[in-house]
Amino acid sequence: MIVSIMRRNHVLFCLALTCFLAQGVVFAGQGDKHPRALFAQLPYEPPPQPDYTPGEDATPAPEQLNAQEQERLTSLVPLLDGNQELWAIGEFVHFGNHSVPHLLKALKMPGSRIRFNAVETLSMIKDPSAVPALVEVALQPNEESKVRSHALRVATRLDPNQVIPAIEGMAKDPNSTIRNTAAFEARYVHRKEILPILIGVIPDPEQYVSITARDSFWILTRFSGPIHDWEISTPDQRKEWAKEWWAWWEDNKTRFEKGPAPTTPPQPPANLNAG
């Protein structure tokens, strides 16, 4: 048994020595009382580069799908929930617009994970024809809030001109998260009709929803209203302050016959939180 232990220790010592040599360890000052270990850079040869660019030989999506490919897309829908969901999303994205009808069916399937991933996949495909179905999901009162909110976000990015009914309905939703999403996404809709909707949200019972609506209104119009302390405001105060926005709107709505100027939404100024 002692011999076995000695052999094992010898093997371990050899392995440790090999590791030090592989890392280029050089021991200096052997005559010193306390020798020092210096690390030296060993010559490095980079691995050979591939003769092709990864992905350049990927098979493009067909212009028209045959029956087998249609069946393949149908079989991918249940995989949007599970360990293979990322692979399934990649397959749908590869087939592009051909995947949209299958993803629209997925929006009505049981399982919120399938529906959420279907919305996410539609955002990658970027086909505006999916917007009406996404608006329907966003307005569905029995749908989970995360799916509704994501559906509105994606629909707004695909075609903001089609989401006004969704924003108008969601701005009155009992769920404050949904109302806040509507108020936030409204800043991307450069249409005159969206401005009265935002004014209607300013008196919201939830302070953060009210502030989001106020900021979105400023982004679209540059009107911030008189200075108020929004951080400690009450619902009654916000109802009173909203009258200032309505008065401004009556005096200025003719300026927006063609909608607010289509600019990239900037961040509100720092002092807007106090006004």
- Spatial separation of the C-alpha atoms in residues 187 and 118, rounded to whole Å: 25
Domains contained in the chain, number: 2
Residue 151 belongs to a domain? yes
> Do 97 and 142 belong together in one domain?
yes
What is the DSSP annotation of 186-213?
Answer: GGG---TTHHHHHHHHTT-SSHHHHHHH
The rounded distance, in Å, linking the Cα atoms of 200 and 208 is 14
| Cβ neighbours, 10 Å, residue 69 | 14
Q: Does any domain span residue 171?
A: no
Asked whether residue 218 is assigned to any structural domain, the reply reads: yes
CA distance 44 to 32: 32
Residue 265 has pLDDT above 50, yes or no: no
For residue 154, tell me if it sits in a domain.
yes
pLDDT category of residue 33 using cuts at 50, 70 and 90: low
Contact 249, 195 (CB under 8 A): yes
Q: Per the domain annotation, does 265 fall within a domain?
A: yes
Query: Cα 170 from chain centroid?
Result: 20
| Angle, helices 176-185/207-221, rounded to nearest 10 degrees | 10
Is 60 exceeded by the pLDDT of residue 30?
A: no
Q: How far is 109 from 156, CA to CA, in rounded Å?
A: 23
Q: What are the tens digits of pLDDT across the range 64-89?
A: 778 888 888 888 899 999 898 899 99
User: How far is the C-alpha of 114 from the C-alpha of 34, rounded, in Å?
Assistant: 65
Residue where the block lists tokens 């209104």: 217
pLDDT at 224 over 80: yes
Tell me: do 70 and 128 sit in the same domain: yes
Cβ–Cβ under 8 Å, residues 25 and 33: no
| Contacts (Cβ under 8 Å, ≥6 apart) of 232 | none
Pair 158, 220 in one domain: no
**Residues 203 and 263 placed together within one structural domain of the fold:** yes
pTM of this structure: 0.71
Structural domain for 244, as ranges: 190-275
pLDDT at residue 3 is higher than 50 = no
Q: Are 228 and 268 contained in the same domain? A: yes
Q: Does residue 122 sit in the same domain as residue 71?
A: yes
The answer to the question of residue 95 being in a domain is: yes
157, 194: one domain: no
Within-domain flag for 259: yes
Judge if 155 and 202 occupy the same domain: no
Whole-angstrom Cα distance, residue 19 to residue 23? 6
Among 111, 146, 162, where does a domain finish?
A: 162
Is the confidence at residue 22, as pLDDT, over 70?
no
Same structural domain, 208 and 258: yes
212 with 267, same domain: the answer is yes
Residue 264 belongs to a domain: yes
Please write the tens of the pLDDT for every residue from 243-259.
999 999 998 888 876 65
Q: For the residues of 136-162, what is the DSSP string, one character each?
A: HHHT-TTS-HHHHHHHHHHHHHH-GGG
